[in-house]
Amino acid sequence: MSEEFDRTFWEERYRSHTTNHHGRPNPQLIAETGELVPGTALDAGCGEGADAIWLASRGWRVTAVDIATTALRRAQEHAETLGGEIASRIDWVAADLTSWTPPDAHFDLVSTHYAHPATSPDVLFRRLAAAVAPGGTLLVVGHHPSDHISHGAGPEVHFTAEEIAASLDPDRWDILVAEARSRSVTDHGGREITIRDAVLRGRRRP
């Protein structure tokens, strides 16, 4: 991670903010994976676990990775309140995505949302793409360059879906979705704001 978004930054963020994301998976995850047959999934940068828990509730076996142990503890505690059937399907892993390497060709779904790598985004996404099993799905959601709300996060966290698609081997990947999408959210002050997501969904050829 960069100095701004290192482990200390994320731990302090989760410790100092009471968040309310439980039970609210990213709508792009729902839209792009809701029809997939459950299998093994990697949630890279899982935060407080809303996406991982949603996947587990639909039958996926999830490896959920995040740099912040505070976020992982909250995620695990929330999963346990939903019952052993869901909690037992999730393995919580404390790791820095900038240096952590997932097992090669292992997961039926690799999903990452709003990652903040110290390296360029395509370096991280190529590493995550390598973890997708033949026939599996890669889902990358991030801040589109036209998303003014997230500009304070720095230019390194912004990308287009087309840029990520171009980094994938066309002989190994079918690009199913590569676009920018707008959606409305409520900010911490209760205001409705519009954000712009870059959404990439690819399928690794068998």
Domain segments of the chain as ranges: 7-13+38-186
pLDDT in tens, 78-127: 999 999 999 999 999 999 998 899 999 999 999 999 988 777 778 899 99
In this prediction the pTM is 0.88
The domain made up of 7-13+38-186 has a fold known as: Rossmann fold (3.40.50)
Sort strands 173-186 and 90-94 into parallel, antiparallel or unpaired.
unpaired
